[in-house]
Amino acid sequence: MDDKALLHEVWEIRRQLPRVGVRKLKVMLYQRGHDAGRDRMFGMLKDAGLLISRKRLGKM
């Protein structure tokens, strides 16, 4: 699987679920027949600017 096709699949998933993280994306892609390692996914999404920043919870 090349990176462009994998990023296209990520973009399709993120269109429906914009806040889904890399680990869940990896599982969803595996269910669709794509197998990519977690580190490869982090690297690809970082290079493409598609990483989601963590939500910070404020003090109460």
Residue with tokens 């892609």: 29
* 39 occurs within a structural domain: yes
* 60 occurs within a structural domain: no
Number of domains in the chain: 1
Q: What b/e string do you get for 1-35 counting C-beta neighbours within 10 Å, with b at 16 or more?
A: eeeeebeebbeebeeeeeeeebeebbebbeeeeee
* 58 occurs within a structural domain: no
Which of 51, 55, 56 lies closest to 41, judged by CA? 51
In this structure, of 1-10, 16-25, 27-36, 51-60, the range with the lowest mean pLDDT score is 51-60
* 56 occurs within a structural domain: no
What's residue 30's pLDDT?
92
Q: 19 is in which domain, residue-wise?
A: 3-48
Q: With a cut of 70, say whether residue 2 has pLDDT above it.
A: yes
* pTM score, whole prediction: 0.76
Kindly report, residue by residue over 25-58, the tens digit of the pLDDT: 999 999 999 888 889 889 999 999 988 887 777 7
